[in-house]
């Protein structure tokens, strides 16, 4: 929970990386390395690796004739490649900073044919470093001293690594230090509530606690202190609000600039596409291609409009900060006006009464103190007004971006018109233009609202500045008058006149205090309107996204179950092509064309066998294509069905697995029939158990339907509920929950709007909203209520101060009237003073009530935040289930790709050999079929053999490694794939961390997928079967895709559906290299290119995601190992340090034994290099802080280091921290104990 400005700064660099790692443009002028490839081989490679335009052109060529292929390579490739390069550069302009944007624009404008390639290769790196320097400058501009120093150090170093390190995480610790200092200042100078809240944050000691205090709790605490808030405290709050406004203004400016550039690029691309479409009105193919480019440009325009909406929202946030600063300054002005009025009233009283001199002097000092705070508030309000003006400019830029997006949408619309005249399909461009136009309208609306709010906020800030300055001047003048009156108390020559003058001045000051209070009210009203506009824009955008996601989900046919047979997953067009190709009398040319169209469709949607066969067919001869569509497609589908059935068994019960073992020994038809209707003896019992489990965890509709299935008591009812009924019932529960949120009068505007958006989206979108998203919206609404209560409290405080000032002025007028001997007037002024005092008391009571409501709202918001965190944890568990399912499926898929590659390669090799031997086509096809059938039989035999070996291996483990190894083997062999994969990964980490590099480590890692892992390590044996562990590596990217589906609230279901995501595509692309004949072109093109880099990034991300899973596995393994050790061996292992490759350290053993004796807990060693040192049998973790060097020990200089170290240990490493004092002197130990005493019992000493 760090400041948003830092996330935006670091996110810019991530966006640039993402832009660089999208589908690369193809170097059409440089042939790929490796042996010569056929034209179809080359085009297939281009289809798999090219950018959007190259891919589209390659697709048209692949389903065409050899002449179409040659024409694309000769005439279509280079223009498409140039467009893709320009698109890639445009993406970098929108994702990068100003220097990257300038260099990219230069490359775009250059007439040098190599300019774009040069920029994409390495020309962006130097400008990117310049942008990183700028980002560091921007971060430290408003940073605290420590963060500023760290950023300056990075700037002084000047290297790209230093800058990137600071932007990535180098700012974190300095920011924490600055934040702690700021919070300590609050403890020292805040009100009672502020001090309490700040102390809680310090005691918690986590970044989240600090950020929560500064972003939410502080304002509430200030509201609770508002009855006694000093002007200096209001000035500090105004300064904080002004700082936040400045930071948000910078974010708005950056986002607006990106939006303008991206929208302008989209507009230019759309206009170019429009012109190309107009020129191609008589050529349908060219017109369709140009219309597709227009669609792409319109989509980029829609993206730019969304960025513009974000910029407008940031501008509104900046304006809100300025308005908050203005409100506090107005409040300070009101309080200062009250102080001035009281000083003038005291002066009036002293003019005629010497006994009032002391009161006058006290009032004078109070007025001078208030004047200083009011001046500071005025300065903050002035800076806030300037920030609001800049926010206005950022909103103007966002509106300009919306104008460019509108122009791009219009150009795309014109392109659609021209394409339709040519008879081309332009539906994609038409839909994209509509989306871009809708987003542009929303961006324009958001920008207008932001501009209006920024104008009001700026005017209010400047008005509050003027009011605070006038109030400060009034207070200074009143202080001087009160001092003078005290000096001459009771001796004025004309006491009545002097008293009257002071009374009039008091009345003028009171009136200005009232004006300041009214100004604060206007600010609040403007902020409320702007917030309503912001929520409306965000909700509308969310609803648009939901509707688009629903439409997209409907086209992806996710309703087909992942475990259905392959033929049921084919769409209508694929079935039509298959029927036509196999119909008697179909012309040979049509059969060939249909075969390649089928192959193209299945290459992106079929199972592993179907895809391998389809990819090979796209690069094959006409005769091979015919054989594929008439025979090969069904054989590949049958093998995919076998793979699917095996995955079903991996996820099923013992009874289901037994039935599948029997079915897979039979013909393909039996496998197909079982997938359609998986009937087996224990199915009813298994599904009754599943139904009860689902009912226990489900909502009201799920419970009702589950009970209905149980009451029916039939196998069919239970099967229907488990396979389909539970999902529709769960969907009904989600819809019911969303509608209840909308109808609930206590729901806020964001909750209601987002619930409606979720209802308009796909079912997965709705489920994620109900499971987690609703709690975020509820929290936002409650935080808004909290903020509103706080501001109302400020308003009522200002109004109360103004009324009190008026009462004081009226009292002064009463005194003056008495001095003039005007009894009637004195009575009137006395009554007015009483009335004003009553009003002030009423307003003060209202301010107190607002403070109470603010506190309750804060508690509600905190409760919502806690609920949101719990919901996020539940969603994370669901995500992990999806991740593991995806990994399991991808393991099976990678294994299947290997089998399929073998069979497909055998088929084509036999065909090529037969043709080379002079055989005719029929004989060559027969030879190829024979070779394929033999390969398939071998594959099926290998499947059965691997399963048998898995079961038999455990008996050998018992004889060699004993009962523990036998138990480990049995557990591993019987585990579901989730736990097997977890064990494999944990074992690999074991090999990496505990085995020295060399051949033994390689053997250890190769053995990690074996159930006899312990036995084999005991015997130093090597297991040659590495397929599964390599599949884990390949599956990591697909695992990440499953998480992306859940995290982005997209509609994804099952492992087959996850294959549509980018990560899955990359994984499959790498897996399929060996399956395609473009392997001859050189696998290095894909392996060494950006795709491989992106794949490696997925690997790193997956490893990070699974760290907790792996850690738990290794800790459990270590605990089991300790349980089987003798006491002497256990104590020795306590001193074996993983950071020293397990070397024994006597001092560490001594410390561990001492902890055991002191706390009465049995310890075992933490098995990883990072983390605590030991784990207790109670599950608590223990670490050590120290030892310290006695010669360099200085409490004053290391105090902060000690506290940070203890916080780090408590927060991230261990539950309890032992402070090691060995080698220190007695006085040093005493100092150290004083430093960490506040952390007891979590930090402790042995003596």
What pLDDT sits at residue 709? 92
Q: Is-contact 640 674, C-beta < 8 A?
A: no
**Which residues are paired to 1184 by β-bridges?**
1218
Query: Cα–Cα distance between 39 and 1082 in angstroms, integer?
Result: 14
pLDDT of 616 > 80? The answer is yes
988 exposed, middle or buried (CB, 10 Å; 0-12, 13-18, 19+)?
buried
Tally Cβ neighbours within 10 Å of residue 454.
33
The top-scoring range by mean pLDDT among 281-290, 627-636, 924-933 is 627-636
pLDDT of 1036 > 50? The answer is no
Higher pLDDT among residues 771 and 1101, named by residue: 771
Query: Up-side HSE of residue 180: CA atoms within 13 Å toward CB?
Result: 17
Lowest mean pLDDT among 221-235, 486-500, 714-728, 848-862: 221-235
Higher pLDDT among residues 855 and 923, named by residue: 923
The predicted-structure confidence for 422-462, as pLDDT tens digits, reads as follows 665 667 667 777 777 777 777 777 777 777 777 777 777 77
Tally Cβ neighbours within 10 Å of residue 854.
27
For residue 24, the 8-state DSSP code is P
CA angle 55, 57, 60 (to 5 degrees): 110
983 exposed, middle or buried (CB, 10 Å; 0-12, 13-18, 19+)?
buried
**Which residues are paired to 1182 by β-bridges?**
1174, 1216
**Residue 360's Cα: distance from chain center in Å?**
60
**Which residues are paired to 1174 by β-bridges?**
1165, 1182
Q: Is-contact 80 57, C-beta < 8 A?
A: yes
Residues 6+ apart with CB under 8 A from 529: 452, 453
Please state the pTM of the whole predicted model.
0.52
Phi-psi group of 1171: left, alpha or beta (phi > 0 → left; psi -120 to 50 → alpha; rest → beta): left
**Which residues are paired to 1244 by β-bridges?**
1218
**In which band, very low, low, confident or very high, does the pLDDT at 924 lie, cut at 50, 70 and 90?**
low
**In which band, very low, low, confident or very high, does the pLDDT at 1105 lie, cut at 50, 70 and 90?**
very low
What percent of the chain has pLDDT above 90? 5
What pLDDT sits at residue 1178? 63
Q: Would you tell me the crossing angle of helices 231-279 and 357-421 to the nearest 10 degrees?
A: 10
Place of tokens 């997965």: 764
What pLDDT sits at residue 597? 93
The predicted-structure confidence for 627-672, as pLDDT tens digits, reads as follows 888 888 898 899 889 888 887 887 678 888 889 888 888 899 999 9
Q: Is-contact 294 430, C-beta < 8 A?
A: no
pLDDT of 1088 > 80? The answer is no
Residues 6+ apart with CB under 8 A from 294: 270, 273, 274, 277, 411, 412, 415, 416, 426, 429, 432, 433
Lowest mean pLDDT among 236-250, 332-346, 351-365, 400-414: 236-250
**Which residues are paired to 1137 by β-bridges?**
1143
Query: Up-side HSE of residue 676: CA atoms within 13 Å toward CB?
Result: 9
What pLDDT sits at residue 739? 93
User: Rounded to the nearest 5°, which phi and psi values hold at 1137?
Assistant: -90, 115
- Residues 153-169: what's their mean pLDDT? 83
**Which residues are paired to 1243 by β-bridges?**
1217
- Residues 1177-1184: what's their mean pLDDT? 75
Q: What is the DSSP string of 1171-1215?
A: S-SEEETTS-EEEEE----GGG--HHHHHHHHHHHHHHIIIII-S
**In which band, very low, low, confident or very high, does the pLDDT at 1055 lie, cut at 50, 70 and 90?**
very low
β-strand pairing of 1216-1219 with 1181-1185: parallel
The top-scoring range by mean pLDDT among 259-263, 751-755, 873-877, 1025-1029 is 751-755
Query: Cα–Cα distance between 375 and 467 in angstroms, integer?
Result: 10
pLDDT of 696 > 50? The answer is yes
Quick one: fold of 1126-1244?
A: Trna Endonuclease; Chain: A, domain 1 (3.40.1350)
Tell me the two tokens of residue 598.
Answer: 């089928």
User: Rounded to the nearest 5°, which phi and psi values hold at 1165?
Assistant: -75, 140
Query: Up-side HSE of residue 643: CA atoms within 13 Å toward CB?
Result: 29
**Which residues are paired to 1218 by β-bridges?**
1184, 1244
pLDDT of 1106 > 50? The answer is no
Dihedral (CA of 768, 772, 776, 779) sign: positive
**In which band, very low, low, confident or very high, does the pLDDT at 958 lie, cut at 50, 70 and 90?**
very low
For residue 583, the SS3 value is: coil
β-strand pairing of 1136-1137 with 1243-1244: unpaired
Tally Cβ neighbours within 10 Å of residue 1208.
17
- Which helix (H) or strand (E) segment is 1078 a member of? none
What percent of the chain has pLDDT above 70? 48
- Which helix (H) or strand (E) segment is 1047 a member of? helix 1027-1047
Where do the structural domains in the chain lie, given as residue ranges? Answer: 15-125, 566-682, 929-1107, 1126-1244
pLDDT of 579 > 90? The answer is yes
**Which residues are paired to 578 by β-bridges?**
none
Query: Cα–Cα distance between 972 and 1117 in angstroms, integer?
Result: 13
What pLDDT sits at residue 971? 44
Q: Is-contact 445 305, C-beta < 8 A?
A: no
Q: What is the mean pLDDT of the chain?
A: 67
What pLDDT sits at residue 648? 82
Lowest mean pLDDT among 79-83, 542-546, 1036-1040: 1036-1040
What pLDDT sits at residue 986? 43
The predicted-structure confidence for 300-311, as pLDDT tens digits, reads as follows 666 766 666 766
Q: Is-contact 1218 1155, C-beta < 8 A?
A: yes
The predicted-structure confidence for 367-422, as pLDDT tens digits, reads as follows 777 777 767 767 776 777 777 677 677 777 777 777 777 777 777 677 767 666 66
pLDDT of 184 > 70? The answer is yes
The predicted-structure confidence for 780-836, as pLDDT tens digits, reads as follows 787 677 767 766 666 666 666 666 666 666 665 665 665 555 555 656 656 665 665
Tally Cβ neighbours within 10 Å of residue 666.
11
Tell me the two tokens of residue 197.
Answer: 């809240």
Dihedral (CA of 1040, 1042, 1044, 1046) sign: negative
């Amino acid at each position: 929970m760090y400041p948003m400005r830092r996330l935006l700064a670091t996110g810019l660099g991530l966006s640039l990386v993402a832009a660089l790692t999208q589908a690369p443009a193809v170097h059409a002028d440089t042939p790929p390395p490796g042996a010569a490839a056929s034209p179809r081989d080359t085009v297939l490679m281009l289809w798999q690796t090219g950018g959007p335009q190259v891919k589209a052109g390659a697709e048209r060529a692949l389903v065409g004739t050899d002449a179409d292929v040659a024409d694309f390579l000769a005439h279509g490739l280079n223009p498409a490649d140039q467009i893709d390069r320009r698109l890639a550069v445009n993406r970098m302009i929108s994702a990068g900073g100003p220097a990257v944007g300038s260099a990219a624009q230069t490359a775009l404008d250059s007439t040098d044919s190599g300019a774009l390639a040069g920029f994409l290769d390495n020309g962006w790196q130097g400008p990117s470093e310049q942008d990183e320097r700028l980002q560091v400058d921007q971060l430290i501009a408003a940073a605290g001293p420590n963060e500023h120093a760290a950023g300056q150090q990075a700037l002084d170093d000047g290297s790209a690594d230093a800058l990137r390190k600071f932007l990535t995480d180098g700012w974190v610790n300095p920011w924490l230090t600055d934040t702690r200092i700021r919070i300590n200042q609050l403890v020292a100078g805040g009100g009672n509530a502020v001090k309490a809240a700040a102390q809680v944050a310090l005691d918690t000691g986590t970044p989240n606690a600090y950020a929560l205090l500064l972003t939410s709790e502080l304002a509430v605490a200030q509201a609770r202190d508002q009855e006694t808030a000093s002007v200096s405290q209001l000035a500090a709050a105004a300064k904080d609000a002004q700082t936040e406004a400045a930071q948000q203004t910078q974010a708005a400016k950056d986002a607006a600039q990106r939006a303008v550039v991206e929208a302008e690029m989209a507009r230019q691309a759309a206009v170019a596409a429009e012109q190309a479409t107009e020129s191609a009105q008589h050529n349908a193919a060219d017109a369709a291609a140009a219309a597709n480019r227009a669609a792409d440009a319109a989509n980029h325009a829609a993206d730019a409009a969304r960025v513009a909406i974000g910029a407008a929202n940031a501008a509104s946030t900046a304006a809100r900060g300025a308005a908050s600063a203005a409100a506090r300054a107005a409040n300070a002005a009101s309080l200062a006006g009250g102080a001035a009025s009281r000083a003038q009233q005291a002066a009036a009283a002293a003019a005629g009464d010497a006994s009032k001199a002391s009161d006058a002097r006290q009032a004078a000092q109070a007025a001078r103190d208030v004047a200083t705070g009011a001046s500071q508030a005025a300065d903050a309000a002035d800076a806030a007004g300037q920030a609001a003006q800049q926010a206005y400019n950022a909103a103007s830029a966002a509106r300009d971006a919306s104008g460019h997006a509108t122009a791009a949408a219009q150009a795309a619309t014109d392109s659609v018109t021209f394409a339709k005249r040519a008879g081309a399909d332009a539906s994609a461009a038409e839909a994209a233009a509509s989306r871009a136009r809708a987003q542009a309208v929303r961006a324009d609306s958001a920008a207008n609202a932001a501009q209006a709010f920024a104008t009001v906020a700026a005017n209010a800030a400047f008005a509050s500045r003027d009011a605070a300055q006038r109030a400060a001047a009034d207070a200074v003048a009143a202080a001087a008058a009160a001092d003078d009156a005290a000096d001459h108390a009771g001796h004025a020559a004309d006491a009545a006149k002097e008293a009257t003058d002071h009374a009039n001045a008091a009345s003028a000051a009171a009136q200005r205090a009232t004006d300041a209070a009214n100004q604060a009210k206007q600010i609040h009203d403007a902020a409320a309107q702007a917030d309503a506009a912001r929520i409306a824009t965000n909700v509308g955008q969310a609803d648009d996204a939901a509707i688009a996601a629903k439409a997209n989900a409907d086209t992806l046919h996710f309703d087909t179950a992942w475990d259905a047979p392959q033929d049921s997953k084919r769409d209508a067009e694929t079935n039509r092509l298959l029927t036509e190709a196999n119909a008697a009398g179909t012309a040979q040319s049509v059969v060939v064309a249909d075969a390649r169209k089928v192959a193209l469709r299945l290459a992106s949607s079929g199972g592993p066998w179907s895809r391998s066969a389809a990819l090979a067919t796209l690069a094959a001869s006409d005769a091979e294509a015919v054989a594929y569509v008439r025979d090969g497609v069904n054989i590949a589908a049958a093998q995919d069905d076998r793979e699917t059935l095996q995955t079903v068994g991996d996820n099923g019960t013992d009874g289901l697995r037994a039935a599948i073992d029997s079915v897979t020994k039979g013909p393909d038809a039996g496998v197909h029939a079982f997938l359609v209707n998986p009937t087996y003896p224990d199915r009813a019992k298994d599904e009754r158990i599943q139904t009860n489990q689902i009912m226990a965890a489900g909502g009201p509709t799920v419970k009702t339907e589950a009970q209905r299935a149980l009451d029916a008591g039939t196998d069919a009812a239970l099967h229907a509920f488990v396979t389909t009924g539970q999902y529709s019932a769960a969907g009904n529960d989600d819809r019911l929950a969303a509608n209840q949120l909308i109808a609930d009068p206590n729901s806020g505007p964001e909750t209601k709007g987002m619930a409606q958006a979720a209802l308009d989206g796909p079912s997965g979108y709705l489920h994620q909203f109900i499971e987690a998203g609703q709690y975020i919206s509820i929290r936002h609404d409650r935080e808004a209520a909290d903020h509103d209560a706080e501001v109302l409290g400020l308003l009522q405080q200002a109004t109360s101060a103004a009324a009190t000032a008026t009462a004081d002025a009226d009292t002064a007028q009463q005194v003056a009237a008495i001095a003039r001997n005007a009894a009637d007037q004195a009575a009137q002024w006395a009554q007015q003073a009483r009335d004003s005092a009553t009003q002030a008391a009423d307003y003060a009571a209202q301010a107190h009530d607002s403070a109470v409501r603010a506190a309750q709202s804060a508690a509600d918001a905190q409760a919502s935040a806690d609920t949101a965190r719990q919901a996020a944890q539940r969603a994370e568990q669901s995500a992990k289930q999806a991740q593991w399912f995806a990994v399991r499926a991808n393991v099976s898929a990678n294994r299947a790709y290997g089998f399929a590659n073998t069979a497909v390669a055998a088929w084509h090799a036999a065909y090529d050999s037969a043709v080379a031997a002079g055989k005719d086509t029929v004989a060559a096809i027969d030879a190829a079929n024979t070779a394929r059938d033999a390969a398939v039989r071998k594959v099926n035999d290998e499947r059965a053999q691997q399963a048998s070996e898995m079961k038999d291996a455990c008996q050998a483990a018992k004889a060699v490694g004993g009962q523990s190894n036998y138990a480990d083997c049995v557990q591993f062999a019987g585990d579901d794939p989730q736990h097997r994969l977890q064990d494999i990964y944990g074992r690999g980490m074991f090999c990496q961390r505990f085995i020295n590099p060399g051949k033994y480590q390689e053997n250890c890692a190769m053995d990690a997928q074996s159930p006899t892992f312990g036995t084999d390590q005991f015997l130093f044996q090597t297991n040659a079967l590495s397929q599964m562990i390599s599949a884990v590596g390949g599956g990591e990217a697909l695992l990440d895709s499953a998480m992306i589906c859940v995290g982005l609230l997209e509609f994804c279901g099952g492992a087959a559906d996850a294959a549509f995501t980018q990560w899955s595509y990359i994984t499959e692309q790498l897996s399929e290299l060996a399956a395609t004949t473009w392997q001859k072109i050189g696998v290095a093109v894909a392996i060494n290119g950006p795709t491989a880099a992106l794949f490696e990034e997925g690997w790193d991300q997956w490893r990070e995601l699974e760290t907790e899973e792996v850690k738990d596995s290794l800790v459990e393994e270590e605990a089991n190992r300790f349980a089987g050790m003798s006491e002497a061996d256990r104590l020795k292992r306590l001193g074996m340090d993983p950071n020293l490759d397990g070397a024994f350290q006597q001092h560490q053993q001594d410390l561990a034994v001492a902890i055991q004796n002191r706390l009465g807990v049995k310890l075992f060693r933490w098995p990883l290099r990072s983390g605590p040192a030991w784990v207790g049998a109670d599950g608590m973790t223990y670490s050590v802080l120290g030892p310290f060097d006695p010669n360099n020990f200085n409490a004053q200089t290391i105090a902060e280091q000690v506290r940070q170290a203890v916080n780090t240990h408590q927060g991230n490493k261990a539950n309890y921290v032992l402070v090691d004092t060995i080698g220190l002197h007695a006085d040093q130990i005493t100092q150290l104990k004083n430093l960490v005493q506040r952390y007891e019992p979590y930090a402790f000493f042995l003596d």
